[in-house]
Amino acid sequence: MKKGYLGVDVGSVSTNLVVLDPDGKLLIKKYLRTNGKPIQTVQEGLYQIGQEIGEEIEIAGAGTTGSARYLISLIIGADIVKNEITAHAIAASSIDNEVRTIVEIGGQDSKIIIMRDGVVTDFAMNTVCAAGTGSFLDQQASRLLIPIEDFGSYALKAKNPVRIAGRCAVFAESDMIHKQQLGYNTEDIIAGLCEALVRNYMNNVGKGKEILPPVMFQGGVAANQGLVEAFRRYLDMPVEVPEHYGVMGAIGVALMSRDASRRKGATGFKGFNIQEISFKTTSFECKGCSNACEVVQFYENSELLARWGDRCGKWEV
């Protein structure tokens, strides 16, 4: 039976699951919409993977990353839990060990990672304004009645991209509507939106960063060829898009789970049939002091697995 290593990246928009072989080659990947239900989405994703691999592959290590990484680590029995910065850096280095700048744009946040000699030396994240993220393009695609999958090809057809105010998602939307009313064609407006997103990203997340090639563009938004081209023009340097750009966080933490499980000599992975297990989260307000901490309790079936949220450690499990 072959060994496989599982990586799970749970974000607010998408949940990505991958299985790698011991050499780091991708065997299976799943890109699912989280839809506000990270537990159910991971349960469904694991069930699908279990159905595909059957008895052929044994999961020898598992890891989690993303905004719900701690919660999901309890559910799947992860051997390692890492933040997105580390996961994306490890994945990028596995493809190009000379990469020095990583641009990562997801549905609800964006980040820049500066690497030198294979080590993360600086990073920044944008989790406040939607104008530098994929959700911004999603909203505008809906307004223009264009499938988001076709957004990039429209942008590449533009002859004269329109300049659109991109400092704020609300202003950008009103400016786009104004340009439509002035009679600009759709291709030029879409190209203008791509350029606005790049300007917003560079003026916020990338501000003050020394951006050197090779540059790698990761995250689901890297599917948009118009945006990739806008980054190339703005930076005036090549921008590499890896083959599995949308699941790089999951790949990174799967690679780390391989090393973690080898050090431990075993894995805590609970298996693919976690759909049969009931998970529940509750909370209460601690009255022990004036902090009034909200303490979160996580149950597997009726067993209390973990508590967190208290500042003093009184309730930790």
Indicate if 97-244 has the same CATH topology as 2-88+249-276: yes
Query: How far is the C-alpha of 1 from the C-alpha of 22, rounded, in Å?
Result: 12
Residue-averaged pLDDT of the chain: 88
Query: How far is the C-alpha of 165 from the C-alpha of 171, rounded, in Å?
Result: 6
Domain ranges of the chain: 2-88+249-276, 97-244, 279-308
Average pLDDT over residues 131-149: 74
- Which residues does 101 contact at the CB level (< 8 Å), separation at least 6? 112, 113, 114, 115, 209, 211, 212, 213, 214, 215, 216
> Class of the 2-88+249-276 domain?
alpha beta
**pTM of the predicted model as reported, rounded to 2 decimal places:** 0.86
Question: If you search the block for the tokens 């400092």, which residue do you land on?
Answer: 167
Maximum separation of any 2 CA atoms in the chain, in Å = 66
| pLDDT score at 153 | 82
Band (129; pLDDT cuts 50, 70, 90): low
The one-letter amino acid code at 176 reads M
Q: Which CATH superfamily is domain 97-244 in?
A: ATPase, nucleotide binding domain (3.30.420.40)
- Phi-psi label, residue 77: left if phi above 0, alpha if psi -120 to 50, beta otherwise: left
- Please determine, for residue 3, whether its predicted confidence score (pLDDT) is greater than 70: yes
Query: How far is the C-alpha of 39 from the C-alpha of 126, rounded, in Å?
Result: 25
Q: Residue 190 has which token pair? A: 């879409």
DSSP 115-172: EETTEEEEEEEE-S-GGGSHHHHHHHHHHTT--GGGHHHHHHT-SSPPP---SSHHHH
Q: What is the pLDDT of residues 170-203, one digit of tens each?
A: 677 788 788 878 888 888 888 888 888 888 888 8
| pLDDT score at 141 | 78
